[in-house]
Structure 1
C-alpha cells in the first residue's frame, strides 16, 4: 500500500514570505538610494531614518493599490485583474472557461429580469 505525504505550504504562508522578502528588498534598497541621494545633494548628513520611513510608506501604498486592483467589490476574487477576453485563452486551464460561463449565465439572468 502506497502512502503519500502532503508537503504543500498553505497559500497565506507563501504570500507572507513573498510580502516580507520583496518588501525587505524594496524598503532597504529604496532607503539606501534615498540616503545616498540626500547626502550627495547636501540635503542632510544622515538621512537614512527618514528615507527608511518614506520607503516603508511607499511600499505600503504600493501594496494597498495592488490589493485594491486585484480584488473586486466583494473582495474575494482576483479575476477582476484578468481581462474577460483572456478567459478562454491564456487562463483557460486555471478556470477561465468556467468563469466565462458563470459570468455569461449571470448576465443572461440579469437580462431576463429586465
Structure 2
C-alpha cells in the first residue's frame, strides 16, 4: 500500500518521460544574416562521402546537410565528392575542400567545373 503514491506519475511531472523539445536543435545558431552578395562564415566539421548519393552528408555550423539541401538562403549543397563539396550561392558555383571552414565574404568568380 505504501507504493500507491508512485501511481500518479503524470501529476507530479517529475518522473514523466516526456521532455520538452531540445532547444539547441530547434534554434540552430547557424542562421547568420545573409546579404545578397556575401556568404557568412561556415564551420565545416564533418564530411561523409559514399558511392550512393543518399548516404553522403556534411556538417556545417553544427547541422547535417545532404545534396540538394539549402543550409542558408541562396546557398545550395550541389554535390558532395570524395574530397570537396560543390556549392552554389546566388547561382555562382564554388568548391570547398572537405573540412575547410569558409571564413565569410564574397565568392570569387572563377571558372566553373561542369
TM range (shorter): under 0.3
Give the TM-score normalised by the residue count of structure 2: 0.28
Give the TM-score normalised by the residue count of structure 1: 0.28
Structure with greater strand share of residues: 2
Structure whose CA Rg is larger: 1
